[in-house]
Chain A
């Protein structure tokens, strides 16, 4: 026990050393030839994207249906966010790094691209890949490379880019795509359905525990482009997978749009752990630039005793609008949501979850930790709904806010819709401030103010960070420290 804590301290030292400097370190751009289509959005653009990807007719029809629906929708404004008007005609909807002509092996990735992902700490060569993590790297609109594919194939696990899945596994895609998040779900989901570029597809067959962590790394590189990827994870009976998602983008003055969809389906007794460390470029200190992150993530716990666990560490983006949710359909199914959302400077985050209890004896747990600094706004928005027939539903929600300074805001919006008397729903919320006296106490022990804040914040979010796989946990702690740099004094 003690040893464990000491190891954490050691990591923290490393983290501190690495972050001296403290600027957004993923802000570089890769100089690579990119194929882009002209700005703007209309039916022809949707057709063009589909054509670029060589898609079958059914996929194109799906896109067009979503597009015509989107045209009838309005951008939502119910979140506690101040979203500048987005000009959807000023965005490029498809950008792909042009790969150099392939020479030796089909798998050869452009060295420039390899270098980019190396710089981000994501090596694409299998022998160099972090032990036990298979990676799907997505740059701008296309998947660059999926590692460890053969190893996984031996177990019958499918892990490939979404485009590839459309070609190779059309039946699975047709069956599950849109089964959790219909294209009519919301404005950004509809848009994604029309123009999505790439993403990852995972299928874990019956009874298989995926032996390694699966991971997708999203990178926006090209200017003026939006990123619209989608992820679909299907876990069949008695299977298990842990899935990680990371994201970064170059530092640019203009805002860029990221509107993704993640769908998860779990069958009987299946379990999916989905972890995100979101570090899109947050904009500069004056609030210029940064990513608009409008994401729809939802899991359908279809089977009895199935379980989905969302863990997210949100430090980036200028605006975050995101509610990873669980539809607890199977009896005894379980949904968990662990979240840390950090906002600094002019960042805005409106994030939380929805737990929809449908089956009997379903349980959900929500642990949300917001950290606000600078002039940022940080909101938790969560819905717990217990349907009429959901006997014995249980929910516990813990929503904590930590404030640094007095120019930021923290808000909690819990919504309860309880339609069954047997439900037990508990909600706890706290708001605290990092006290000057706490910082001074640390100072008198030889800790700088930045170190003190790092320790306190990491202590505060420990419950959530502990849910992350080891490598990610360390990464997340680093990020927290960086994101809060310069937030005091």
Chain B
């Protein structure tokens, strides 16, 4: 479904992604790990359509369509979801209003009728239950004054609402307490199906105990330098990144 070939991206002439190759098929779970500053968030936001970075080389296709040609909102409507490492606060805009607009924009894009108020509320209740999000949060402004963990839960709630085909979860586990981690992971698992795929970016094996990856990739200095099965995560947990860094010091 998602095919990334030789993707290069830079900011102010500083190259951050230096040739990413990655193929993701429906039903798969990919974990991306790697030291701080290696480009994990950059890769995610480039795929989500951020204009902060300039793609200088390479391609990314999503179900055969050129992803890089699409504006960010169309990528979302096509079914790509990006859970932010640092979700953004939007004061004054209620979660309900925000989500309703988002969901109906998705529906419009797919030539579906917008949800009525009651249909929407029903959907929201269902999804809230599924990801066990506190009712109060959806009555507040988008992420405003949310705690770190609440913001992450809210990302997963939005994912549940939008039912994407591929979800990129950027360190969704960081900042979550032990119970919340389990709840969020359960949420992600419940949303998993044969038709959709998940990319989890994380620093810790802990999350991968819950969301079991089919592949683990190591991103280092803007390249995927190693890919293997879920056992790689355990190895990294044990040994850190030094042994990999050594191999790729240039």
Q: How far is the CA of A160 from the CA of B136 in the complex (A)?
A: 49
Are A8 and B50 in contact, with the CB atoms below 8 A? no
Residues of B51-105 at the interface with A, using a CB-CB cut-off of 8 Å, are 51-52, 71-73, 75-77, 81-82, 84, 87-94, 96-102, 104-105
Residues of A close to B81: CB separation below 8 A: 444
Counting CB contacts under 8 A, is B226 at the interface? no
Shortest Cβ distance from residue A329 to the other chain B in the assembled complex, whole angstroms: 36
Counting CB contacts under 8 A, is A451 at the interface? yes
Given known A443-B73, A446-B77, contact A451–B117 (CB-CB < 8 A): no
Counting CB contacts under 8 A, is B42 at the interface? no
Counting CB contacts under 8 A, is B233 at the interface? no
Residue of B nearest to A449 (CB): B73
Q: How far is the CA of A400 from the CA of B109 in the complex (A)?
A: 36
Residues of A close to B222: CB separation below 8 A: none
Residues of A close to B51: CB separation below 8 A: 440
Q: How far is the CA of A447 from the CA of B103 in the complex (A)?
A: 9
Q: How far is the CA of A166 from the CA of B209 in the complex (A)?
A: 84
Of A24-32, A230-238, A341-349, A455-463, which stretch is located at the interface? A455-463
Q: How far is the CA of A445 from the CA of B82 in the complex (A)?
A: 8
Counting CB contacts under 8 A, is A60 at the interface? no
Are B120 and A442 in contact, with the CB atoms below 8 A? no
Counting CB contacts under 8 A, is A5 at the interface? yes
Counting CB contacts under 8 A, is B221 at the interface? no
Counting CB contacts under 8 A, is A42 at the interface? no
Given known A5-B94, A6-B120, contact A445–B141 (CB-CB < 8 A): no
Q: Which of B101, B116, B120 contacts A451 (CB 8 A)?
A: B101
Question: Interface range on chain B: under 10, 10 to 19, 20 to 34, or 35 or more?
Answer: 35 or more
Shortest Cβ distance from residue A446 to the other chain B in the assembled complex, whole angstroms: 4
Residues of A close to B72: CB separation below 8 A: 440, 443-444
Q: How far is the CA of A219 from the CA of B58 in the complex (A)?
A: 57
Q: How far is the CA of A451 from the CA of B90 in the complex (A)?
A: 14
Counting CB contacts under 8 A, is B158 at the interface? yes
Counting CB contacts under 8 A, is A12 at the interface? yes
Are B93 and A456 in contact, with the CB atoms below 8 A? yes
Are A448 and B73 in contact, with the CB atoms below 8 A? yes
Q: Which of B45, B96, B162 contacts A445 (CB 8 A)?
A: B162
Shortest Cβ distance from residue A3 to the other chain B in the assembled complex, whole angstroms: 7
Q: How far is the CA of A446 from the CA of B71 in the complex (A)?
A: 10
Q: How far is the CA of A185 from the CA of B104 in the complex (A)?
A: 53
Q: Which of B90, B100, B105, B120 contacts A459 (CB 8 A)?
A: B90
Residues of B close to A7: CB separation below 8 A: 117
Counting CB contacts under 8 A, is B49 at the interface? yes
Are B139 and A13 in contact, with the CB atoms below 8 A? no
Residues of A300-329 at the interface with B, using a CB-CB cut-off of 8 Å, are none
Counting CB contacts under 8 A, is B234 at the interface? no
Interface string of A13-39 (1 = CB under 8 A from B): 100000000000000000000000000
Residue of B nearest to A435 (CB): B88
Are A455 and B101 in contact, with the CB atoms below 8 A? yes
Counting CB contacts under 8 A, is B48 at the interface? yes
Residue of B nearest to A7 (CB): B117
Q: How far is the CA of A1 from the CA of B158 in the complex (A)?
A: 21
Are B97 and A441 in contact, with the CB atoms below 8 A? no
Are B88 and A8 in contact, with the CB atoms below 8 A? no
Counting CB contacts under 8 A, is B106 at the interface? yes
Q: How far is the CA of A448 from the CA of B106 in the complex (A)?
A: 11
Are B97 and A446 in contact, with the CB atoms below 8 A? no
Counting CB contacts under 8 A, is A438 at the interface? yes
Counting CB contacts under 8 A, is B114 at the interface? yes
Counting CB contacts under 8 A, is A2 at the interface? yes
Shortest Cβ distance from residue B9 to the other chain A in the assembled complex, whole angstroms: 15
Counting CB contacts under 8 A, is A10 at the interface? yes
Q: How far is the CA of A397 from the CA of B88 in the complex (A)?
A: 29
Q: Name which of A7, A443, A446, A462 has the most chain B CB atoms within 10 A of its CB.
A: A446
Residues of B94-133 at the interface with A, using a CB-CB cut-off of 8 Å, are 94, 96-102, 104-106, 109, 114, 116-117, 120-121
Residues of B close to A426: CB separation below 8 A: none
Q: Which of B75, B90, B109, B139 contacts A442 (CB 8 A)?
A: B90
Q: How many residues of A contact B (CB 8 A)?
A: 32
Are B158 and A445 in contact, with the CB atoms below 8 A? yes
Q: How far is the CA of A441 from the CA of B45 in the complex (A)?
A: 10
Residue of B nearest to A441 (CB): B88
Are A438 and B88 in contact, with the CB atoms below 8 A? yes
Shortest Cβ distance from residue B88 to the other chain A in the assembled complex, whole angstroms: 4
Given known A5-B94, A441-B88, contact A446–B121 (CB-CB < 8 A): no
Interface string of B145-189 (1 = CB under 8 A from A): 000000000000010001000000000000000000000000000
Are A446 and B76 in contact, with the CB atoms below 8 A? yes
Are A10 and B117 in contact, with the CB atoms below 8 A? yes
Are B92 and A441 in contact, with the CB atoms below 8 A? no
Q: How far is the CA of A183 from the CA of B105 in the complex (A)?
A: 54
Are A6 and B49 in contact, with the CB atoms below 8 A? no
Residues of B close to A459: CB separation below 8 A: 90-94, 97, 141
Counting CB contacts under 8 A, is A73 at the interface? no
Counting CB contacts under 8 A, is A74 at the interface? no
Are B90 and A456 in contact, with the CB atoms below 8 A? yes
Residues of B close to A462: CB separation below 8 A: 92
Q: Name which of B51, B88, B116, B162 has the most chain A CB atoms within 10 A of its CB.
A: B88
Are A443 and B76 in contact, with the CB atoms below 8 A? yes
Are B96 and A5 in contact, with the CB atoms below 8 A? yes
Residues of B close to A448: CB separation below 8 A: 71, 73, 105
Interface string of B187-219 (1 = CB under 8 A from A): 000000000000000000000000000000000
Residues of B close to A460: CB separation below 8 A: 91-92
Interface string of A262-281 (1 = CB under 8 A from B): 00000000000000000000
Are A9 and B92 in contact, with the CB atoms below 8 A? no
Given known A7-B117, A440-B72, A441-B84, contact A446–B92 (CB-CB < 8 A): no
Given known A2-B139, A5-B94, A12-B101, contact A446–B120 (CB-CB < 8 A): no
Residues of chain B at the chain A interface (Cβ within 8 Å): 45, 48-52, 71-73, 75-77, 81-82, 84, 87-94, 96-102, 104-106, 109, 114, 116-117, 120-121, 139, 141-142, 158, 162
Given contacts A10-B116, A12-B101, A449-B73, 10 further A-B contacts (CB under 8 A): A8-B97, A10-B100, A13-B101, A436-B52, A438-B88, A441-B88, A443-B71, A445-B76, A447-B102, A455-B93
21 intermolecular pairs with C-beta atoms under 8 Å apart: A1-B139, A2-B139, A3-B121, A9-B101, A435-B88, A436-B52, A440-B51, A444-B73, A444-B75, A445-B76, A446-B76, A446-B102, A446-B109, A447-B105, A455-B90, A455-B97, A456-B90, A456-B92, A456-B93, A459-B92, A460-B92
